[in-house]
Amino acid sequence: MKVLAAIDIMNGDVVRLTKGDQSTKKVYSNDPVQVAIKWAKEGADMLHIVDLDAAFGNESSNLSIISEILHSVNIPIQIGGGIRNTEIFEKIAKMGFSKIVVGTMAYRNVNELRLLSKNYGDKIVISLDEINGKIMIEGWKSSSDYKVEDAINKFNKLGISNFLLTSIIKDGTLSGPDIVTLNSVNTDRKSKIIASGGISSLVDVLRVRSIGCDSVILGKALYEERLDIKKVKAIA
């Protein structure tokens, strides 16, 4: 199982939110590049970078910082946040990111996604941001008409097999992952599931691994020093 270190960027700072609520923002660093270098040196398989300003639909100047990270580490980078049309997607893809997380666009404009999947199928990661099995979009502010299992089935038919499942009610709470939902989607071995939200201990990591997740994202637990990447890697 691959271990991804999360770097959420807002106004140029590395932050963590709780349940996606901007009012809960806690700043951990004003130097995202150094944070990226740190997680890479500690053995992360990949960085998971989110441009929160773009995700919330605000004007963002974080892309230059993210580009600097790309050229400062020698591990793959998965990027997400505000990638809501083909133009933005292709701009990001040309920069050299390994994986690109798509949320709102996938649910609002399937035709655009279908065209992108022909050229970038393996780069695309579909975001499954869920509350009680229902997908949320637009920075977790709006509900889509999709349930998690329905979304996976739909996008599998487009040849997409990478999915990022985030439990919104668990995110940033350090209260453990949503094992029930993760277990329900990992019965489908055609899909690679990245688990996110609530991971706070080695036991959580073992539980996520045992149900067949392809990857796990470590966020707040890293920044609060509850987890160490090397120790997680040893059991992942």
Active site residues: 8, 129
C-alpha–C-alpha distance, residues 8 and 50, integer Å: 5
Contacts of residue 218, defined as CB under 8 A and 6 or more positions apart, other chains included, come to 3, 4, 5, 6, 199, 227, 229, 232
C-alpha–C-alpha distance, residues 25 and 152, integer Å: 31
Helices (H), 12-147: 32-41, 52-55, 63-70, 86-95, 104-108, 110-120
φ, ψ dihedrals at 231, nearest 5°: -70, -35
